[in-house]
Structures are given as structure tokens and as C-alpha cells.
Structure 1
Amino acid sequence: MNKKFDKFKQWLSLNYSDGLLDLNPPASDDEIEELTRTIGVDLPEDFISVLKIHNGQKGESAWLFDSQEFLSTKRIIEEFNIWKNLLDKELQGKVSNPDDGVKNDWWNKKWIPITSDGCGDHYCLDLSPSPTGTKGQVITLWYESSEREIVSQSFSQWFEEYLSELNTGNLVYSKEYNSIVHKDEL
């Protein structure tokens, strides 16, 4: 993951230097331990390796992943707890319309948010897929939509596909939106 993340930082330095400056220092072992203890599940090694490169972003500049904030360990815990509270109070028995391979929960305690748009939409690591899914697959979780889509089979695949979209120019930094967006959204 180091080489892949270096390519991401290179793209940021050429296309959006403020985004590069918005990256946090590496997550400490204590921060990662607090995260895994709070969420109650072990994270995939490819995701942990990225946290050890940069613990998300500060959030002082535009969001780095397709109009979504790259969450730090602290922000993952915050978003996880928001969803956990919603599950306990409002989401009991509510079901989603998932892709094959994803459980039909509205939210599952083993769906770990790794990005956020600030309005309840996330890319999540699915650490409890249905029997036809893959543990560690990346799924969408849009608060107001019942769809739960599989985006990639793993975090490293998702990140590599994102890098490809950046390097082919399909994703660009937009001053107008102050975010990295698909070029067809401009």
C-alpha cells in the first residue's frame, strides 16, 4: 500500500497540493487499538497499512475521495457511534435493498465507515458480508437510499481503482466544488 499511497500523494502534489497538506500524520498503534476495540472487529491489513501511512485527513481542505472525507481513526469512531446510536433508536427492523453479497440490514455494526460526505453517506468496509460476499469488500451506505452496492472486493482494490480514475483524468479536483469529483460532474 505504500507505493499506491505514494502515487496518490504524487497526484495530489501535482493537482491539489492543499489536499496533500490536509493529510494527517500516521496513526499510532494506540489509535488503531482504540479503533478496533471500539468497533469490536479486526480491520483488514490493507486498510490498517494506509492508516499507518496517514491517519485520514484533517478536514481543513476539500475531501479527498470522490467528494468524501478520508476518515481518521477518531472520525471513524465518531461516525460508527452515530450509526450505532441510530441503530439502537431508529433503525431497528429497517432493511435495505443490497447487492448480492451484502446483508439486507439498513446498517450493520460490522460495516465500518472509511469515508464520509458529512450527511450520513459513506463508503464502508463490509466485515460481515452475506454468504456470497467477500469479507472486507467496500460497499456504499447512503443514509437516505436503501441501496447497498458493492464497489470493490477489498480496500486495496478500491484504492487502486480510485488511483486509476485520478490518473486517467476521470476524477479531477474542482475549485468550484472544492472537492475531487468526476469530470462529467463539472
Structure 2
Amino acid sequence: MPDKEPPKRPPGEPKPLLEENIAAVLARLDAWYAAHLPPDRYRFNPPATEAQLDAFERLVGINLPASYRQLYRWHDGEKDDRWGHIYGLPLLPLREAGAQWAAWNRVLLSLGGDRYKIPGRGWPDGAVDSAYINPRWLPLTHDGSGNHIGLDFGPWPRGRVGQVILFGRDEDTKTVLAESLGGFLEWVAGLLDSGNFRLEARPDERVLRVFRLKDPPADDFQDGARAILGAPGAIE
């Protein structure tokens, strides 16, 4: 693939990280999960320890916001990639989040350190880096095919530090889902409380994850999220 000039970063600085307490939305999600998800299939791990969080912070070299630590003191993710709590996507345990982050850095090394070797775009324009990978993206979920919902600590000037984005192997358009972790969780909780979910597959329907959006009826939460927000899809 021929080398291209990297995209021009807009002038200015991104909005600062939002300091937020996510206890209320975690309790809201706890209540919804308890009421709707079979506990024998949808199982969180025990909380992470401060030592585990400190080790993860040292690994990635990013000061973790209080909300991130709060999330992992709630649960250290989950193990099952079919019965994840984020519309079927599992919240990654810290150990796996670190492994995915390290794997992406090895990919970047294989590209000669050129984040733009594989072309992409960002949405909204000027809010998120259009790079194929950025070391300041922390994976929060994984779909088993190299794609993530994650936290962005290297946003472009029209974005915000700590915003939640889509990125990964098939995510040509790096998309901002929410300005913050708390905002993302509130959005998910709102979708669930409004009844926008499916928990069963038809007898003739073969799906990996039965916990999905109802409207739009997307098999992948990432595709449905883009449709809800009006974000573009794959680059033609």
C-alpha cells in the first residue's frame, strides 16, 4: 500500500475529561440486568482490586479517570463472549483489556509506527483520530473479530478526552458514541429502559448473540449504534 500524507489535525485542543460519579447508572444497570438477564448465562467477574487497576494504569501509561476505576471496582469484566452485558458484548476484564491494547501496539509496530498506513476516517469530523490504531485508545469491549468499544484519550480538537468510540479491524469510521464513560452507560441504560432490546432468536435464526437491539434490528451492536446516531458505515 503506497504511503500517504497523514490527515491534517484541526487546530485547537479537545474538551477536558469529564469528572463523573457513575454509581447511579451502575445501580440502574444492575437492576435492569437482574430483572431481564438469566443469571446462569450472564455472569460478571468479581470486582478488580486497586493493585490490578494500578498495574493496568502503568501498562497503558494513561491516568485512569475515577469513573473507569469505579466501573472496574463494580466488576472486573466478564469472561463469556456470547453472553455479554453490553447488548451481547462482554466488558473486558482488565487483563484482557491490557492484552488487547498490547496486541494493537504490536500491529502498529508492524505498520512501521504509521497509524495512518491503513486509511480511515473519523465521525463527527474533527472529533476523533481517523487512524487505524492509536495507543491512547483503551478497549472496553471486544466482539471476537478485532473490534471494540473503547475510551479515547487521544481525541482530536472537536472531541473530548475520555470519549467513548468505536474502533478496530473492521471499523473504517472511528465513531464517537458518547462524550464520556458515564454518558455511554447512561445511553445504554436509556436504550434498555425504553424497551429497545431483543433477548431471543427465532427458531430459524442463527446468531452468535441473542441480546441485541430491536430497533434497528442489527445483529452487531456497533452497526446498530451507528444507525441510531446517524454515523456513516464502512468506507466504499
Unaligned runs of 5+ in 1: none
Percent identical = 23
- Equivalent position amino acid for 1:103 in 2: D
C-alpha RMSD of the superposition: 2.0
Residue correspondences, number: 186
Q: Which of 192, 195, 204 pairs up with 1:169?
A: 195
Could you say if the C-alpha distance between residues 107 and 60 of structure 1 is closer, same or farther in structure 2, counting changes exceeding 3 Å?
Answer: closer
* C-alpha displacement of 1:110: 0.4
* C-alpha displacement of 1:166: 0.7
**SS of corresponding position for 2:138:** strand
Q: Which deviates the most, 107-116 or 4-13?
A: 4-13
Unaligned runs of 5+ in 2: 1-21, 202-206, 219-236
**Contact kept in structure 2, 1:19 and 1:62, CA below 8 Å:** no
What is the aligned partner in structure 2 of residue 96 from structure 1? 120
**SS of corresponding position for 1:52:** helix
Could you say if the C-alpha distance between residues 19 and 84 of structure 1 is closer, same or farther in structure 2, counting changes exceeding 3 Å?
Answer: farther
Report whether the alignment pairs 1:83 with 2:143: no
- Equivalent position amino acid for 1:106 in 2: Y
Normalising to structure 2: TM-score of the pair? 0.73
Q: Which of 20, 25, 40 pairs up with 1:4?
A: 25
Whole-angstrom distance in 2 between the partners of 1:75 and 1:181: 23
Give 4+ residue runs of structure 1 displaced > 6 Å after superposition: none
* C-alpha displacement of 1:118: 1.1
Could you say if the C-alpha distance between residues 19 and 76 of structure 1 is closer, same or farther in structure 2, counting changes exceeding 3 Å?
Answer: farther
Whole-angstrom distance in 2 between the partners of 1:85 and 1:183: 37
What is the aligned partner in structure 2 of residue 105 from structure 1? 131
Q: Which deviates the most, 112-121 or 96-105?
A: 96-105
Greater share of residues in helix: 1
Report whether the alignment pairs 1:35 with 2:66: no
What is the aligned partner in structure 1 of residue 152 from structure 2? 126
What is the aligned partner in structure 2 of residue 147 from structure 1? 173
Greater share of residues in strand: 1
- Equivalent position amino acid for 2:187 in 1: E
Greater Cα radius of gyration, structure 1 or 2: 2
What is the aligned partner in structure 1 of residue 36 from structure 2? 15
